[in-house]
Chain A
């Protein structure tokens, strides 16, 4: 139902845009989140965006460098990442938020590798 795209290898200091496209449901019905997982590490929540995009939260680790947005007309969620650092290397997941701020649907993830 959710598919992330846009991952790849990028040099430190560069930028990258990730996309998350929904199928079989209308994305505008749900708040959305981005979560990442560094190699061999746990899940790290990154950012939340409300249904209309008027309410956004960021984890401190990415505040000021990453920006979340959505285009409900295209059923798509975005994550614009800038000033990428080695420690941003991870699998990035988008997740649909439902009851009690639980994440009931996840994409398979897209791998971002920051390397010189």
Chain B
């Protein structure tokens, strides 16, 4: 099954920009989705189809996808952005949906 790699952790100061990456072979040929999961809560979708934001998600969250890595960028990071972030794709070869291992963002 398709494998995606995320850094286990990242630390950023409030007000700075955090860029989280998700690596995978030919990932730019896939639609990448990103989820935010705060402690004790269910995940929520923050970016879908590489760079689209669901209603209600601040425009501080943006996404991109090129070559062998997709990225989630959080601008003007706030303490409330502290969470685990997961990337996810649909592996069309198997029909499986696949998650990356997640990145714990500390603010």
| Interface positions of A (Cβ within 8 A of B) | 33, 35, 42-45, 48, 55, 57, 59-60, 93, 97-104, 106-109
Contacts and interface: CB of A to CB of B under 8 A. Distances in A.
A101 B99 contact: no
B86 A103 contact: no
Interface stretch (B10-18, B19-27, B67-75, B88-96): B88-96
Give the size range of B's interface with the partner. 20 to 34
B62 to A, nearest CB: 16
B99 A43 contact: yes
A106 B42 contact: yes
Contacts of A44: 99
Contact of A93 (B1, B31, B42, B84): B42
Interface string B27-48: 0000101010100011111001
Nearest to B6: A42
Cβ-closest 7 pairs across A and B: A101-B90, A100-B31, A102-B48, A102-B33, A57-B95, A42-B102, A106-B42
